[in-house]
Amino acid sequence: MDRRKFLINTSVAGLAATSIASTSFKASEIESSGQTDNNLFKDNFELNEVTIDQLQQMMKEGKLTSKSITQLYLKRINAIDKKGPAINSVIEINPDAIKIAEEMDKERKAGKLRGPMHGIPVLIKDNIDTADKMMTTAGATALIGNIASEDAFVVKKLRAAGAVLLGKTNLSEWANFRSTRSTSGWSSRGGQTRMPYILDRNPSGSSAGTGAAVAANLCVIGIGTETDGSITSPASINGLVGIKPTVGLISRSGIIPISATQDTAGPMGRTVKDAAIFLGILAGIDAKDPITQESKGKAKTDYTLGLDPNALKGKKIGVERSTFTRRNEDVIALFRENIELLKAQGATIVEIDLNSKVNAALGNAETEVLQFEFKDGVNKYLATANAKVKTLADVIAFNNANKETAMPYFKQETLIASDAREGLNSKAYKDAVEKLIKSRSIINDLMKENQLDALCGVSNGPSSCIDNINGDYGTGFSFSGPAATAGYPHITLPMGMIHGLPVGISFVAGAYQEAEIIKIAYAFEQATKKREAPKFLTSAIPKAV
């Protein structure tokens, strides 16, 4: 989640199994890759922009194996994530990755195929438990050494599907719920992740590492988590497809929490079909997360069924009117261009007011709910975790005792404010929750009154610059809030580039309408093909002529 979103009403945001501490550019990192000024090294990686289907076909034909694919991605991570251009998106490599890949190859040879993810390497965010040799830290030095006793439910689903757990990605520390002045993509354990299109730009948070890694072709697909914008924002910023599903579709057990009301995991990929494949793998009912019971009879095992390039024909889409009042005329022009493309594909467009209605109804309720639930959730998680800190108060004390490493740029006022909250039985909490769920009726009413199939807006503006000293600053565009507070599904995908930076378009609908907005997004993707691979520019400043 972009934790400043509800505070400033905008969003930005070695192979060793240990920490990575890079926080700034080094000349040697750029020189080692052959880059000079703003010229790029030649990126000839053989798996660039590959899809899940293509990898499966190559394994079927014997051109590649799961082991060789895994080795290629590990080599890629070592070459461009850890050295030049030093994206710094992977916080830890799974030392068992090759072993898992070999097992999947043996199964394939024996005629056992588990499904579309069989043998496919995956990166996951470092707030998701894995009962292996990797730590789960949410990027916090306070949690270094925390090796989970049990896989998170989504990790169990991945393993059962035959996926190869390649490693874990860096994130905004505590999923960007530590400070009001933090920098997205920075953690005290992992350092600063950079966005692969222009390296001095912010990859956005909090799933910054997953976003940057998938965009840079360090894996084919990855998992992010979102409370408000943490999948959709880095997906938009990094030219990806990101799906924030209905809260309840995917279990949160084994994921370091912020909010029981809003948290969810979700896929981040380079194509709609890949993200849809992955969503079907992750979904499922989990006794340890009771809200998943609500997905019974509503979830699908295959979200690729019915994908049709003509699916926009006859659709009625509500477009967020406030987008046209924002300050960046380039983004507005790009959005208008894509609205015309929607119309050309047979969609009817209706202007609606969603953000203003939700903001007016909620006030400060989201901030309050998240602080109450963060304290409750983190205390419960730490109580049984294999970490040296056992409460949120312990985390705060650890950070105070280790300021130079834990808090070199910004502090922990959000942690402190959360720890000061009462329990979930307090009237203040219950009142805030009541306000928060009004988002649902606002979305439902808008869609019913206008007979809409989806709501649409600009996911985010172009990425802002990395600024560890002052923290994130806004782009003036965000469409994550209403779906996040309602717990409703939201998909983003590329709609074009502005000055070398990706910009995403969002589609939102009611509870458990993932299949419908995936179909809309797929048709838009097939008609536009706006995804561009990153060029790893050192800065946005053009070379003087």
Question: Can you give the pLDDT at residue 302?
Answer: 98
Helices (H) and strands (E) in the chain, counts: 20, 13
199/209 Cα distance (integer angstroms): 13
Distance separating alpha carbons of residues 1 and 265, to the nearest angstrom? 11
Q: Rounded to the nearest 5 degrees, what angle is found at the Cα of 504, between the Cα atoms of 459 and 292? A: 60
298 included as an active-site residue: no
The DSSP string of 41-100 is: -----TTTT--HHHHHHHHHTTS--HHHHHHHHHHHIIIIISSTT----EEEE-TTHHHH
- Radius of gyration in angstroms for the set of CA atoms belonging to the chain, rounded to a whole number: 21
Catalytic entry in 5, 67, 82, 125: 125
CB environment 504-525: b (16+ within 10 A), e (fewer): bbbbbbbbbbbbbbbbbbbbbb
Q: Which residues contact 161 (CB under 8 A, 6 or more apart)?
A: 114, 115, 116, 117, 118, 281
Whole-number Å distance between alpha carbons of 110 and 94? 25
Segment 404-411 long-range contacts (CB within 8 Å, at least 24 positions apart): 405/141, 405/188, 406/140, 406/141, 406/142, 406/188, 407/188, 408/23, 408/188, 409/182, 409/183, 409/186, 409/468, 409/469, 409/471, 410/178, 410/179, 410/181, 410/182, 410/183, 410/471, 411/179, 411/181
- The reported pLDDT for the residue numbered 327 is 85
206 is annotated as an active-site residue: yes
Q: What is the pLDDT of residue 170?
A: 98
H or E element that contains 102 = helix 97-109
Do the beta carbons of residue 207 and residue 224 sit within 8 Å?
Answer: yes
- pLDDT 10s per residue in the chain (545 long)? 444 443 333 333 322 232 333 333 332 333 333 344 554 568 999 999 999 999 999 999 999 999 999 999 999 999 999 998 999 999 999 999 999 999 999 999 999 999 999 999 999 999 999 999 999 999 999 999 999 999 999 999 999 999 999 999 999 999 999 999 999 999 999 999 999 999 999 999 899 999 999 999 999 999 999 999 999 999 999 999 999 999 999 999 999 999 999 999 999 999 999 999 999 999 999 999 999 999 999 999 999 999 999 999 999 999 999 999 988 999 999 999 999 999 999 999 999 999 999 999 999 999 999 999 999 999 999 999 999 999 999 999 999 999 999 999 999 999 999 999 999 999 999 999 999 999 999 999 999 999 999 999 999 999 999 999 999 987 789 999 999 999 999 999 999 999 999 999 999 999 999 999 999 999 999 999 999 999 999 987 655 43
pLDDT of residue 38: 58
> Model pTM greater than 0.85?
yes
Burial of 460 (C-beta count, 10 Å sphere; 0-12/13-18/19+)? buried
Instruction: Give the separation between CA 200 and CA 208, rounded to whole angstroms.
Output: 14
Domain architecture of the chain: domains with CATH = 46-528 (3.90.1300.10)
Cα distance between residue 194 and residue 20, in whole Å: 13
Long-range contacts of 98-101 (CB under 8 A, 24+ apart): 98/67, 98/70, 98/71, 98/74, 100/70, 100/164, 100/165, 101/65, 101/66, 101/67, 101/69, 101/70, 101/164
HEC per residue, 431-450: HHHHHHCHHHHHHHHHHHHH
Residue 149 appears among annotated catalytic residues: no
**Residue 136 β-bridge partners:** none
- The pLDDT assigned to 65 comes to 98
Could you give the CA distance from residue 96 to residue 44 in angstroms, rounded to a whole number?
A: 27
CA distances from residue 115 to 50, 112, 158, 251, 268 in whole angstroms, order as listed: 18, 9, 11, 20, 19
What's the token pair of residue 473? 């600053």
Q: Residue 508's closest CA among 442, 449, 433, 432?
A: 442
DSSP character for 301? S
Whether omega before 85 lies within 30 degrees of 0, making that bond cis, reads yes
Q: Which residue has the tokens 């019974």?
A: 296
Residue of 172, 230, 233, 480 marked active site: 230
Tokens standing for residue 66: 């799961």
Name the E strands within 300-393.
316-320, 348-352
**How many CB atoms are closer than 10 A to CB 23?**
17
pLDDT digits (tens, 9 = 90+) for 21-73: 333 333 233 333 334 455 456 899 999 999 999 999 999 999 999 999 999 99
**CA 39, 232, 332, 528: dihedral to nearest 10 degrees?**
70
Of these residues, 206, 233, 253, 459, which one is catalytic? Answer: 206
